Structure 1
Amino acid sequence: MGGGGGGNSAYGHRAFKRSRSHFRDRITADGREGWPVEAGRYRLVVSRACPWASRALVVRRLLGLEDALSLAVTDPVQDDRSWRFTLDPDGRDPVLGIRFLSEAYDAREHGHPGGVSVPAIVDVPSGRLVTNDYQQITLDLATEWTALHRPGAPDLYPRSLRTEIDTVMAEVYEDVNNGVYRAGFATGQAEYEAACTGVFRRLEVLADRLAGQRYLVGDTITEADVRLFTTLVRFDAVYHGHFKCNRWKLAENPVLWAYARDLYQTPGFGDTVDFDHVKRHYHQVHTGINPTGIVPLGPDLSGWLTPHHREELGGRPFGDGTAPGPVRAGEEVPVRGRP
């Protein structure tokens, strides 16, 4: 518990290993796995603290799926009964009527292995978990839910670029998305040094790639950018200090800092990020790393809103589409969690 969601993190005397999602059903346009795409039927459960869940938050917003797929946001601090709905009145999710996400897991399979992770999609009529497959959920939102996308929704997983996107995402996952966790939860010096070295080696490769192009693949935002962003936006706030990934700060790398600010300032990205939730989750839940539970005051977040000048590289953020509209009422990030 408290690995930050996205699959179930196991750590101890051996190297950190993120297990595969146990519930891997897919919600598809043709309903071939028993779960058809249907407006209003499903509820997306996230923690704004979790980078894996944040992918789904960003993609849902970019594609304009707010009316089709409702949203539940958990307390950033779990207890031993899993992610809690203590942000809602009476501590219950108003749609699912449950206090803990584990109740939806248990409704699907009692005694299931692997813990309770976010993101999760729950079938509202039955109250049963459908999937916690954080790697597939966003790809399906982009490709299977197209009939419910907003007018002007971008193509985040264009067919002609999928091979390149998949390659980039695999490298980013291994060395960056999961690499920071392998460094943070290392229990031996050599294990930590190998993971930390891998993180920064890959970040330097990505910086070289992004020095001459605005986005990771092609000239528009794709799923690859979403997946890199959710780690970068947490880097200085938690991974630099809490996970000891401290060879340099994101803000000290001109290319990656500008790239991350560009995305942060793009509708659908920064407006889903709650830095208060991020900091409280990592520092209060990971008691093995931070036994005092003290949450740092810094870093200064105002830099996220400074000019990035990445538009000079060209690129069309949304391709032939348009930016999403304002954040849905009731889904705004509280002032405390914003720069």
Structure 2
Amino acid sequence: MSDSEEHGKGGIYSVKGQEYNRDSRYIETRIVKDPDPESGDYPVEPGRYRMIAAYACPWANRAIIDRDLLGLQDVISMGNPGPTHDADSWTFDLDPGGVDPVLGIPKLKDAYLKRDPDYPRGITVPALVDERTGEVVTNDFPQITKDLFHEWKDFHKEGAPDLWPADKLEEMEAVMKRIYTEVNNGVYRCGFAGSQESYDAGYDRLFTALDWLEERLDGNRFLMGDAITEADVRLFTTLVRFDPVYHGHFKCNRNKLTEMPNLWGYARDLFQTPGFGNNVNFEQIKDHYYKVHTDLNPLGIVPKGPDLSGWTTPSGRG
């Protein structure tokens, strides 16, 4: 999902005097192990699909991390748009000639229009593209990450983590729902508030949830116990952006992440786990938010801080 969809056809918008809302309508086609011929779904097939995912975007960052944790790098190729883009589309400005080397397109929008010439909504990441046809298959980001685990299991690396443990699934779904509504979306509820009242309400909701997480992590190494799950992936991509972006840019400034001992130790623990920190690009994150959100930051000035060296210090969570 683009974090800058307020520019036009996507899922973030703020109307003066109103609370922020996110358009959550996506292409619901799936890639599954045994597709029903009448469903329109695509078959799991190594080497056929390309994940387009920007390191700047927290929603795409989830898919990048899951792909790495599960060892699917040689099974699903990946293209990475640059962090700054126009109102029309994510663009491949980091690639030679500004063109994705596999799909041969300068804009992700081209793959969407190949699927539907009248595609009416935002050009979002992550998106899975069929390399054979150049058409987007799906951009349904929560389903993509779920299917990477369940539908691509035959191709996971040995020792891949059990991101969706069956014995904890009911509780985990409830935890992830609260994380999504109150934290992942909560920072946007503050940043794109259309009135003082909606900002104040969003701010209170966000920090109520962060306090709940701080308490939950007091006795657990990870959200669901001693092992990493999908819930941790979904929280991490917001936490890793909190001090560099959300604290100042989105006015989520009651305190910094570094001032919440359990969450800060937990976030560092994940950051130092292979699959997490190696898929974080702070420079791209800051460039995206501060340069693309011109309504919030009209001059496009990117702050030099904060000091990010603490991410590699011992977490104390072992």
TM exceeds 0.5? yes
Question: Which residue identity lines up with residue 82 of structure 2 in the other structure?
Answer: D
User: Among residues 85, 91, 94, which one is paired with 1:87 in the alignment?
Assistant: 94
What's the TM-score, normalizing by structure 1?
0.89
Contact 1:182/1:195 (<8 A) preserved: yes
What's the TM-score, normalizing by structure 2?
0.95
Residues 317-332 of structure 1 aligned to structure 2 (within 5 Å):
none
User: Among residues 12, 15, 28, which one is paired with 1:12 in the alignment?
Assistant: 15
Match of 2:250 in 1: 243
Tell me the SS of whatever aligns to 1:113.
Answer: coil
Contact 2:92/2:107 (<8 A) preserved: yes
1-structure distance, mates of 2:48, 2:72: 12
2-structure distance, mates of 1:4, 1:79: 9
Match of 2:34 in 1: 30
2-structure distance, mates of 1:107, 1:148: 28
Q: How many residues align?
A: 310
Question: Which residue identity lines up with residue 25 of structure 1 in the other structure?
Answer: T
- Residue 72, structure 1, aligned to residue 79, structure 2: yes
Per the TM alignment, residue 22 of structure 1 is displaced from its structure 2 partner at its CA by 2.3
Contact 1:4/1:49 (<8 A) preserved: no
Match of 1:168 in 2: 175
- Residue 183, structure 1, aligned to residue 183, structure 2: no
Supply the RMSD in Å over aligned alpha carbons: 1.2
Contact 1:258/1:308 (<8 A) preserved: yes
Per the TM alignment, residue 81 of structure 1 is displaced from its structure 2 partner at its CA by 2.5
- Residue 60, structure 1, aligned to residue 55, structure 2: no
Per the TM alignment, residue 20 of structure 1 is displaced from its structure 2 partner at its CA by 1.3
Per the TM alignment, residue 115 of structure 1 is displaced from its structure 2 partner at its CA by 1.2
2-structure distance, mates of 1:115, 1:10: 12
2-structure distance, mates of 1:21, 1:162: 25
- Residue 135, structure 1, aligned to residue 142, structure 2: yes
1-structure distance, mates of 2:122, 2:188: 17
Match of 2:266 in 1: 259
Tell me the SS of whatever aligns to 2:137.
Answer: strand
Question: Which residue identity lines up with residue 281 of structure 1 in the other structure?
Answer: H
Residues 204-215 of structure 1 aligned to structure 2 (within 5 Å):
204-215=211-222
Match of 1:324 in 2: none
Per the TM alignment, residue 30 of structure 1 is displaced from its structure 2 partner at its CA by 0.6
Identify unmatched segments of 5+ residues in structure 1: 312-339
Contact 2:214/2:262 (<8 A) preserved: yes
